[in-house]
């Protein structure tokens, strides 16, 4: 399936000079959504995953059905201030701002095998921060799955040496 044909391009968003890859058009297409979830699921079916972790918010969209397909739990990684219990957190730098991610301390069993799912691999900042959260939770990262990879930004260079699957490359 040609997923690129289902991803809308919006110039100058969120600021001039940026070409935004909008996945809402992919999400509204039943065949495209099913194909995306199925491809990312099958890419990690042999990795003995215990949990899928997805970053707010688009990582939730893909991560939860992948966890369901794999028969494992889903754990959300949230933006600051949205989790009510004890958390692990990490602060990190993005291209044009600082950010912070949080995960409940009791959501992952130490020693578990964790798969990280998100919609986009760009500079690698968010994905790298999520990997560090998995490490803080004393778990093993088994891989990353992304719908889109912006190859020119070389985000893979920041990631640990685990399998990385991307379905669409720009």
Q: Quick check: is 95 catalytic?
A: yes
CB distance 158 to 140 below 8 Å: no
Token pair belonging to 39: 């491809």
Distance CA 147, CA 152 (A): 16
Q: Quick check: is 135 catalytic?
A: no
Percent composition of the chain: helix, strand, coil (DSSP 3-state, to 5): 30, 35, 35
Place of tokens 């999520």: 130
Catalytic residue among 9, 21, 34, 58: 58
Q: Which CA distances in Å does 35 have to 11, 29, 31, 41, 116?
A: 26, 10, 6, 10, 18
Tell me, rounded to whole angstroms, the distance of Cα 107 from its chain centroid: 17
DSSP code string of 82-105: ---S-EEEEEEE-SSSEEEEEEET
C-alpha distance across the termini of the chain, in Å: 16
- Give the catalytic positions in this structure: 58, 95
């Amino acid at each position: 399936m040609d997923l690129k044909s289902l991803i809308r391009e919006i110039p100058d968003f969120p600021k001039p000079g940026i070409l935004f890859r909008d996945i809402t058009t992919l999400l509204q297409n039943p065949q495209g959504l099913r194909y995306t979830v199925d491809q990312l699921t099958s890419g990690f079916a042999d990795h003995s995953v215990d949990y899928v972790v997805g970053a707010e918010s688009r990582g939730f969209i893909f991560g939860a059905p992948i966890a369901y397909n794999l028969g494992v739990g889903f754990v959300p990684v949230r933006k600051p201030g949205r989790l009510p219990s004890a958390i692990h957190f990490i602060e990190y730098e993005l291209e044009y701002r600082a950010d912070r991610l949080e995960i409940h301390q009791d959501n992952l069993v130490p020693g578990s095998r964790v798969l990280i799912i998100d919609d986009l691999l760009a500079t690698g900042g968010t994905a790298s921060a999520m990997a560090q959260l998995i490490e803080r939770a004393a778990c093993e990262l088994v891989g990353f799955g992304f719908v889109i990879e912006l190859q020119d930004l070389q985000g893979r260079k920041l990631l640990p040496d685990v399998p990385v699957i991307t379905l669409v490359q720009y």
